[in-house]
Amino acid sequence: MVTTNRYFRAFVLTLGYGFLYVPIACLMLFSFNDSAMMTSWTGFSFRWYRELFNDQALLSAAGLSLQIAALTATAAVALGTWAAYVLVRMGRFRGSGLYVGMLCAPLAMPEVVLGISLLLMFVELGGLIGWPAGNGMFTIWVGHVTLCIAYVAVVVQARIRDLDRSLEEAALDLGATPLKVFFVITLPMIAPALMASWLLAFTLSLDDVVIASFLSGPGYTTLPLEVFSRVRLGLKPEINALATLFIVVVGLCVIAASKVQWRKEET
């Protein structure tokens, strides 16, 4: 039988997960610290949470970011699912190499490349046809959708590949049109993957600093831009409070989603 070294295993996993989680734990702990310094513990307090909820700049930035994230996720899921379906089901066609390349590029491509190239295009386009008139929500949305399509396609194509095709084939045999088969049979079967990729696109958009820096315009400060402009020069305890809330909400969502997923797999 295959055996593993127990001590080495414990060492590796403790070190690895410690590395991933200790910084998050410190951040959360010190969001309840009374002192403005993140260096010594002076007492338990909700002070920074109170300041956070009175911080108009952060709150309006959060509002804008949530809107952009929701719009981004919706568009990216539609386009990414479409692209994934084409790739898995239509096989090779002329230009499919370019297609896969363009689809996967944003997955790894440094975000600065995506940001500057889109900005330069919008500037040229603005000079050429006068549209878009200025940078703002629309331009950030385009950048985020372009980034997120790749992630959506990766998640969704894995699910489409695993599908049992006999249901779709049965529907086709019974005379349903391919379009109807897609909406009535395929779509419900890949719905969990769509949900997961929607959330993934949502969080990616909510977290992006780099693309938004290039594509944002005056009056359109997203939450990460606001946070980044505050923390690039040092520690800001109200950001600790924000991070704690963010991590708790996201963590609970991910755990809940995976619970649902496992229960499905078990039955």
Partner 1 sequence: MRKLFVYDRPTLLRKLAIVPPFIWLALFLLVPFLLVFKISLADLRFGIPPYTPLTTLDNETLTLGIHLSSYKLLFTDSLYIATYISSAKMALVTTLCCALIGYPMAYYIARANAKARHLMLLAVILPFWTSLLLRVYAWVGILRNDGLLNNALMALGLIDAPLEIYRTDMAVYIGLVYAYLPFFILPLYASLVKLDNRLLEAAYDLGARPWQAFWQVTLPMSLPGVMAGSLLVFIPTVGEYVIPEMLGGADTLMMGRLMWTEFFNNTDWPMAAAVTCVMVLILIVPLALLQYNQASQYEPEKRRGNH
Among 62, 71, 80, 148, interactor with partner 1 by CB under 8 A: 80
- Residue 237 in contact with residue 38, Cβ under 8 Å? yes
CB of residue 22 to partner 1, shortest distance in Å: 8
- Apex 124 CA angle, 123 and 128, nearest 5: 120
Tell me which residues in 89-148 interact with partner 1 (CB under 8 A): 89-93, 95, 97, 99-114, 116-118, 120-121, 123-124, 127, 142-143, 145-146
Residue 219, interface with partner 1 (CB under 8 A)? Answer: no
Residue whose CB is less far from partner 1, 191 or 249:
249
Q: Which of residues 3-32 bind partner 1 (CB under 8 A)?
A: 3-4, 8-9, 12-13, 15-17, 19-24, 26-27, 30
Site for partner 1 in 220-239 (CB under 8 A): 224, 227-228, 231-232, 234-235, 239
- Confirm or reject binding of residue 55 to partner 1 (CB under 8 A): no
Q: Is the dihedral of CA 65, 221, 239, 211 positive or negative?
A: positive
**Buried b or exposed e, range 206-243, using 16+ CB within 10 angstroms:** bbbbbbbbbbbbeebbbbbbbbeebeeeeebbbbbbbb
66 contacts partner 1 (rule: CB under 8 A) = no
Q: Which is nearer to partner 1, 53 or 262 (CB)?
A: 262
Farthest-apart Cα atoms in the chain, separation: 72
Q: Closest separation between CB of residue 184 and partner 1, Å?
A: 15
| Cβ at position 9, least distance to partner 1 in Å | 5
Nearest to 51 by CA among 59, 39, 42: 59
Residue with smaller CB distance to partner 1, 191 or 255:
255
Residue 43, C-beta contacts closer than 8 angstroms, at least 6 positions apart: 33, 34, 35
Distance, in Å, from the CA atom of 267 to the CA atom of 253, rounded to the nearest integer, reads 22
Closer residue to partner 1 (CB): 24 or 191: 24
